Amino acid sequence: MSHLYEKTASDLAGLLRSGKVSSVEITESVLSRIESLEPAVHSYVNVYPDLAVSMAKKADEDIRRGTAKALTGIPIAIKDNMCLEGRKTTCGSHILANFRPPFDSSVVKLIKDERMVILGSANMDEFAMGSSTETSCWGTTHNPWDIERTPGGSSGGSAAAVACGQAIVSLGSDTGGSIRLPASFCGVTGMKPTYGAVSRFGLVAYASSLDQIGPFARDIRDMSLLLNLIYKHDSLDSTSVEIGHSDFTSFLDNSVSGMTLGLPTEFFGKLTNEDVEKNLSEARRIFEKQGVNFVELSLPSLDYGIAAYYIIAPCEASSNLARYDGVKYGHRAEKFDNMIDMYCRTRAEGFGQEAKRRIMLGTYALSSGYYDAYYLKAAKIRTLITQDFKKAFESCDAILSPVAPAPAFKIGEKIDDPIQMYLTDVFTIPVNMAGLPGISCPAGFSRDGLPIGMQLISSHFQESKLVQLVSAFQRETDHHLKRPAI
């Protein structure tokens, strides 16, 4: 490995501390990688070389002074829905095309305090609605493993950037799979932490009861370092839970012998893709070799996960997106006859097709007379899903499942068929519905050389178990070390 952009954050942190390289050198290496690959991959909405280099200089000063922290000087990309003071935060939407937040989101504050280096904002589906990054108003991101395929979504830019060295680590958000799916499609490690574990303050809301910020990295060590940084109580987020955690890296070397993994029959019954099936059974074999026990279990309500999610998420979205009316900030139509006309034109011009579809779905489901039939019913299903998981965790430490039914699909393949697109998240959505932590880790490759991820799910605030299991897996395998030949 000759380039700095190919190295992991923990290797780079070692080099920084020993004075062998500077943060400015690392940052320049990543920035030049961004420049050379952006025309093909398009991971970013905005790249900030000026900001990145000035942050890197400050990081180098800290390192010289001996006040560096674990991730000081490491370049990071943040998804385009996390507020970064004074810089555009667009959510992949025309309606926020020129929005510059006057404040930092809490995760950005933590990144700045750590003296990490912010590279820019990563591309995403509009308002995080999608599974392919194709609904971004800035154009789609391409999968670095195969430019004709999608990187997954909605955090496609964050995943693609880490996969091809356009960032060392990144942050995404996950409402129904938006971290785990792109991690799986791009061959990187990504986690959706427990709901409430990471502050959502300054994260532009999509479906507030499901949204959660989480890390992307090339291996579990880097992912744990970033998780350590963001896994903090925040009084600015009323759903933030005050729960301490130990250093996640302290679980990396623990043995997994004697742990039990659950295999949900409903999930495996749905598997039709041979490559995914093969890699999952191989993963099981690797865990068994390390002394992990397996139990089959049933999660009967999971079958209703997608149907219930596509009521709850659009309901919350229709309410959250009501604020974009052209009055306080964001796009405003230039020509209009009166106030109502201004609202209508602003929203008609500003939102893309998928956002409009969700707003209409949600508004309809919440309208008078329909609430009980749709929203209330979906909320009840959500409770059943949560109970199913709770019961499952009485007999296992974590659940092993696929991340997606198949490897990365082609750009354009599903964009005109929303139902097919929605079905991509069949294995990830129930995890958000129950507020559980879930991780996606490289588990192998398809016959065409596309990455395939596996998902591990644990009970609330048991992220350390996921770290422990994935670390044991990555000690025995080299899938996470493979990089796309781009």
User: What is the spatial distance between Cα 280 and Cα 277, in angstroms, rounded to a whole number?
Assistant: 5
Cis peptide upstream of residue 158 (ω within 30 degrees of 0): no
User: What is the spatial distance between Cα 467 and Cα 470, in angstroms, rounded to a whole number?
Assistant: 5
Residue 176 in contact with ligand GLN, rule: CB under 6 A: yes
Place of tokens 């354009």: 412
Interacting positions 403-442 with ligand GLN (CB under 6 A): 425
Q: Which is nearer to ligand GLN, 128 or 342 (CB)?
A: 128
Give the shortest CB-413-to-ligand GLN separation in angstroms: 15
Q: Are 192 and 453 in contact (CB under 8 A)?
A: no
Q: What is the DSSP string of 225-278?
A: HHHHHH----TTSTT--------GGGGTT---TT-EEEEEHHHHHT---HHHHH
As given in the structure block, the two tokens for residue 314 are: 């659009």
Residue 129 in contact with ligand GLN, rule: CB under 6 A: yes
Residue 177 in contact with ligand GLN, rule: CB under 6 A: yes
Give the shortest CB-425-to-ligand GLN separation in angstroms: 5
Q: Which is nearer to ligand GLN, 270 or 284 (CB)?
A: 270
β-pair type (212-217, 189-192): antiparallel
CB atoms under 10 Å from CB of 122, counted, come to 34
Q: Is 43 a catalytic residue?
A: no
Q: Which is nearer to ligand GLN, 87 or 358 (CB)?
A: 358
Give the shortest CB-192-to-ligand GLN separation in angstroms: 8
User: What is the spatial distance between Cα 121 and Cα 103, in angstroms, rounded to a whole number?
Assistant: 15
Q: Total number of residues binding ligand GLN (CB under 6 A)?
A: 13
Applying CB under 6 A, among 73, 75, 92, 130 the residue interacting with ligand GLN is 130
Applying CB under 6 A, among 37, 71, 107, 128 the residue interacting with ligand GLN is 128
Q: What are residue 189's DSSP bridge partners? A: 217
Q: Are 440 and 386 in contact (CB under 8 A)?
A: no
Closest to 431 in 3D by CA, of 463, 469, 464:
463
Give the shortest CB-347-to-ligand GLN separation in angstroms: 19
Interacting positions 311-330 with ligand GLN (CB under 6 A): 313
Q: Is 154 a catalytic residue?
A: yes
CA dist list (Å): 64 to 12, 27, 240, 456: 15, 17, 35, 40
Encoded one letter per residue, x for contact with ligand GLN by CB under 6 A and - for no contact, window 199-238 reads -------x--------------------------------
Encoded one letter per residue, x for contact with ligand GLN by CB under 6 A and - for no contact, window 87-126 reads ----------------------------------------
Q: Which of 22, 106, 154, 224 is catalytic?
A: 154
Q: Is 301 a catalytic residue?
A: no
How large is the greatest C-alpha to C-alpha distance in the chain, in angstroms? 71
Residue 81 in contact with ligand GLN, rule: CB under 6 A: no
Q: Are 208 and 200 in contact (CB under 8 A)?
A: yes
Residue 141 in contact with ligand GLN, rule: CB under 6 A: no
Catalytic annotation, residues: 79, 154, 178
Interface residue list for ligand GLN (CB under 6 A):
128-131, 154, 174-178, 206, 313, 425
